[in-house]
Amino acid sequence: MRADITMNINLIASFVIAICGNALFISKNASAQAGTDANAWPTKPIRMVVPFTPGGSTDILARAIGQKLTEAWGQPVVIDNVPGAGGSLGADKVAKSPADGYTVLMGHIGTLAVNPSLYPKLPYDPVRSFEPVALVAKVPNVLVVHPGVAAKTVKELVALAKAKPGHLSYGSGGNGSAANLAGEYLKQQTGTSMLHIPYRGAVPAVTDLAGGQIQLVFTGGLAVMPFVKSGQLRALAVSSTQRMASLPDVPTMIESGYKGFEADQWYGVVVPKGTPAAVVSKLNQQINAALSSPELKTRLTNEGAVATPTTPQAFGQYIATEIARWRPVIQAGRVTAD
């Protein structure tokens, strides 16, 4: 009897040891496999979601970066345009995608910093739903006026606006657009009152400005550059902390006497929360390498953009700072989304 008990105990012990050994082997194997997958990534096409229609700045930047990543890794980066709700539909689609690095979002100031204050029931959280990867580019807004406006500097424009509150009108690409926010920020920082005229896009707003229907626009350089170069519009200042290479004679708002003024549009890549750190790092390094190439730098400059390579951590902090920057502007200006 005692021998039988001893034998059974030995059999049970051997069985337990075997199970534990197999579990340890499987665990180690799974960990090794996960590490191998992250190191080998990408092994299939990557989908880059652009939360706007084709042809806009976000789409242009996504295709430029996607081409460079395709060249570097030999895996195609497929652009997927998912417009709607100020970019929220596309951003939410990425937030709910598998966290494997094969679905990424080319986000921008709207989807990642402004929308939380514009949409009370936003289906995603810019901070909690994503892993920041890389800040790609900043696009300084350019403050332009019709030549008929009696102001050649920002201070002269402000004096004119204060002399006739509500008389000057500024156009934008629509309620809640980047140009709308830049205009509200300008009003709040200068203590002026101006009438907002929303359009369905920046192009018609700038066209009406050139025609004299409105007095000013504060929007991305790409939309206004041809009009400034031709003399149809007068550029008074840029929203960036440094002058634009394409407009070297135009001062910044800070140089114009408004300390701390910064209201750039910006674009950056994020991935679903929980994406492996090794994949995030690999994406960041390759995007930064692309941004440092002379070819892409020139292309961005021609688009009125400035390449801004940085770390994932720094980009995450920047997103949080921008959310905090624009919330009071939106609230004080009672800005709503179209």
Q: Select the highest-mean-pLDDT range: 81-85, 120-124, 231-235.
A: 231-235
Torsion, Cα of 196, 190, 242, 234 (10° steps): 50
Q: Is residue 6 part of a domain?
A: no
Domain termination site, one of 170, 203, 238: 238
Read off the pTM. 0.81
Judge whether 182 and 253 are in contact, CB under 8 Å. no
Q: Is residue 259 part of a domain?
A: no
Q: Residue 54 — pLDDT band, cuts 50, 70, 90? A: confident
Q: Is there a single domain that holds both residue 78 and residue 146? A: no
Q: Is there a single domain that holds both residue 177 and residue 320? A: no
% residues pLDDT > 70 (the chain): 89
Q: Is there a single domain that holds both residue 168 and residue 133? A: no
Confidence check: pLDDT of 324 > 80:
yes
Q: Is there a single domain that holds both residue 188 and residue 275? A: no
Q: Show the domain range for 156.
A: 141-238
Q: Is there a single domain that holds both residue 174 and residue 231? A: yes
Q: Is residue 257 part of a domain?
A: no
Q: Residue 319 — pLDDT band, cuts 50, 70, 90? A: very high
Of 222, 110, 125, nearest in space to 175 by CA: 110
Q: Is there a single domain that holds both residue 133 and residue 145? A: no
Q: Is residue 94 part of a domain?
A: yes
Domains: count for the chain? 2
Q: Is there a single domain that holds both residue 127 and residue 163? A: no
Average pLDDT, integer, range 191-202? 93
Confidence check: pLDDT of 240 > 90:
yes
Q: Is there a single domain that holds both residue 272 and residue 302? A: yes
Average pLDDT, integer, range 73-95? 95
Q: What is the pLDDT of residue 304?
A: 80
Average pLDDT, the chain: 88
Judge whether 173 and 209 are in contact, CB under 8 Å. no
Q: Is residue 38 part of a domain?
A: no
Q: Is there a single domain that holds both residue 145 and residue 233? A: yes
Q: Is residue 96 part of a domain?
A: yes
- The SS3 of residue 146 is coil
Q: What is the pLDDT of residue 45?
A: 97
Q: Which residues contact 318 (CB under 8 A, 6 or more apart)?
A: 135, 268, 310
Q: Which residues contact 166 (CB under 8 A, 6 or more apart)?
A: 193, 194, 195
Query: For the packed helices 202-210 and 221-230, what is the interaxial angle rounded to 10 degrees?
Result: 20
- The CATH number assigned to the domain holding 76 equals 3.40.190.150
- The CATH number assigned to the domain holding 204 equals 3.40.190.10
Q: Is there a single domain that holds both residue 161 and residue 234? A: yes
144-172 confidence digits (pLDDT tens): 999 999 999 999 999 999 999 999 999 99
Q: What is the pLDDT of residue 245?
A: 87
The first and second tokens of residue 87, run together, are: 């970019």
Q: Is residue 247 part of a domain?
A: no
Average pLDDT, integer, range 303-307? 85
Domain termination site, one of 238, 273, 306: 238
Number of Cβ atoms within 10 Å of the Cβ of 257: 14
Confidence check: pLDDT of 277 > 80:
yes
Q: Residue 35 — pLDDT band, cuts 50, 70, 90? A: very low
Q: What is the pLDDT of residue 99?
A: 97
